[in-house]
Amino acid sequence: MEGLQTAQENDPEISCILELMKQSPEKPPWHSVALHSHDVRVLWGKWHRLRIWNGILQRRFKSPGGSSEVWQVILPAKLRKEFMPVIHGGMTGGHLACRRTAASIQSREHWPTWSSGLDTFLKECEHCARYHRGTVPRKAALRAALCTPRVGEP
């Protein structure tokens, strides 16, 4: 948690929103963020769904059906490259398709360009590109050549 808090404070976009939220819980006027980056302006637009909890900026996410509500951590740019391979192909990922990987991201993290970042990452995933739909390798190509077993020795 301390590493995440430090990463958010060092991220230029997230630290700007953190500072504004610490100054006042009220949404600041547009002119205070108009000259900042796209990510800052997007986060400013979601002001009513943001909170600081234990020093970490989070966003409230309601499922499309409205049945569940999750607080997502706003992930700093520095940690996104480490997060994507874990969520997509880690122990629980299993190189799932776009829809399931997106659901996994939405249940945990958020950043303004997560959807386009996911699309780019899936196109660059070597394992998924090798076995894209319709190009499953032939069984004969997967079989190894048979070896003659040695007999007479333990």
Q: What is the pLDDT of residues 32-56, one digit of tens each?
A: 888 988 888 888 888 888 888 888 8
CATH number at residue 111: 1.10.340.70
- Residue 130, phi then psi, degrees to nearest 5: -70, -35
- Dist. CA 107–CA 121, nearest whole Å: 18
Determine, yes or no, domain membership for 141: no
Q: Which residues lie closer than 8 Å to 111 by C-beta, 6 or more apart?
A: 39, 74, 75, 77, 80, 117
Angle between the N-to-C axes of helices 77-89 and 114-124, in degrees from 0 to 180, rounded to the nearest 10: 60
- Dist. CA 10–CA 85, nearest whole Å: 22
Q: What is the pLDDT of residues 29-38, one digit of tens each?
A: 999 888 988 8
For β-strands 69-74 and 56-62, DSSP reports them as antiparallel
134: left (phi over 0), alpha (psi -120 to 50) or beta: left
Determine, yes or no, domain membership for 30: yes
Hey, is 61 helix, strand or coil? strand
Point out the least confidently predicted range of 4-18, 79-93, 121-135, 137-151. Answer: 137-151
Determine, yes or no, domain membership for 40: yes
Extract the tokens encoding 70. 């999750």
Determine, yes or no, domain membership for 145: no
Q: Give the model's pLDDT for residue 144.
A: 59
Determine, yes or no, domain membership for 136: no
Q: What is the pLDDT of residues 85-142, one digit of tens each?
A: 777 776 665 777 767 777 777 677 777 777 777 777 777 777 776 665 555 455 545 5
Determine, yes or no, domain membership for 116: yes
Residue 83, domain extent:
2-130
DSSP structural state of residue 29:
P
Cα distances (angstroms) measured from residue 127 to each of 86, 89, 105, 122: 14, 9, 19, 10
The total number of structural domains that make up the chain: 1
Determine, yes or no, domain membership for 147: no
